[in-house]
Amino acid sequence: MKLTKAPDCLFCKIVAGELPAERLYEDEDILVFADISPQAPFHALLIPKEHVATLNDFGPEDVSVAGRLFLIAKSLAKEHDLPGYRVVVNTNPEGGQVVFHVHMHMLAGRQMKPGLG
């Protein structure tokens, strides 16, 4: 990862505690917080604390953190008694990304339709 903190990044500010968020999980490398505009009863955002703009900016050095996002999603599901969930990483404007600090959405607590339609 090249940049620790990007100056005008909303999620870097949340990591630094400069903006409030409902923190659900935190370790040295990863922060999970509740989405401000939840699309499901449970909607968390899982992010690396280091600033990485998009999924395309992950490199081989980030494999461990990127993989751990999935393991943390699994742990959160267990902790919050969520029998099923969906994870999504919107990438670039064409992929629906609005905040350019890579994040994994984790949605649960309502019945998801099969597929993504």
Q: Does 10 bind ligand 5GP (CB under 6 A)?
A: yes
Q: Is 105 a catalytic residue?
A: no
Site for ligand 5GP in 21-80 (CB under 6 A): 21, 33-37, 45
Output the CA angle 40-44-50, nearest 5 degrees.
155
CB of 29 to Zn ion, least distance (A): 14
Cβ closer to ligand 5GP: 60 or 93?
93
Cβ nearer to ligand 5GP, comparing 17 with 60: 17
| Residue 57 buriedness (CB in 10 A; 0-12 / 13-18 / 19+) | middle
CA angle, 7 as apex, 66 and 57 as ends, to 5°? 30
Q: Which residues are catalytic?
A: 103
